[in-house]
Amino acid sequence: MSRGAARFAGVISTLLAVDPTLYRVLLVGVVLVIVIAGFLLVKRRPGSLLVLRVGAALSLGAVLAFTLSPAGGATRESCNLDLSFAYFLGIERFANVALFVPLAYLASLAIRRPIIILAATSLLSVAIETVQVLLPGLGRACDINDWLTNTLGAAIGALLAGGALRVTRRR
């Protein structure tokens, strides 16, 4: 990452840490823009399939960058397997949900198989958590709650895509 990009990311991180509500609004806004754009593209205009595939690939890149980039945080030599519903209240959990919505949504629209994409993205989350525990140098912690929130985000994306596909089939 260039120095300018690192500074910009630092400013954004600081701003979002100061105002957690802004963080949630930003995440919801980004997801809404992607959902609306995907809905407009699903009508299969020339080039729309390519745009959906590229969007899904970029979403996958974002998921991998956010979940597998070195963080320098605390690591465990095992995975946390304690389910905690209080876990879902924090900003990080909200981000875990929001991160997987665009990936599942755009990929589901691109291949028109939301159930397959839901299963694949849930397995992707398991793979990410496995890599996090196997590579402690990343500074990431494996947690079953992360898998659960990622899968919840994927389910939301797959449901939205299923709805969009159904609406466009009726027209």
Amino acid at 45: R
Answer whether residue 86 shows pLDDT above 70.
Answer: no
Cα–Cα distances (Å) from 58 to 83, 85, 105, in that order, read 30, 30, 12
Q: How far is 110 from 93, CA to CA, in rounded Å? A: 27
**pTM of this structure:** 0.80
pLDDT at 153: 94
Cβ distance 106 to 34 under 8 Å?
yes
Structure tokens at 98: 């929001």
Calculate mean pLDDT across residues 130-151. 88
Q: Tokens 């996958």 belong to which residue?
A: 60
> What is the average per-residue pLDDT within 20-24?
68
Mean pLDDT, rounded, for 18-46: 75
Of 126 and 85, the structure prediction assigns the larger pLDDT to 126
pLDDT given for residue 123 in this prediction = 98
Looking at residue 6, its pLDDT comes to: 53
Length of the chain: 171
- From 171, 166, 165, 170, select the one nearest 41 (Cα to Cα): 165
Say yes or no to pLDDT of 62 above 80.
yes
* pLDDT tens-digit series, residues 87-109: 556 677 878 888 999 999 999 99
To the nearest 10°, report the CA torsion of 42, 43, 45, 48: 0
Query: What is the model's pLDDT at position 80?
Result: 79
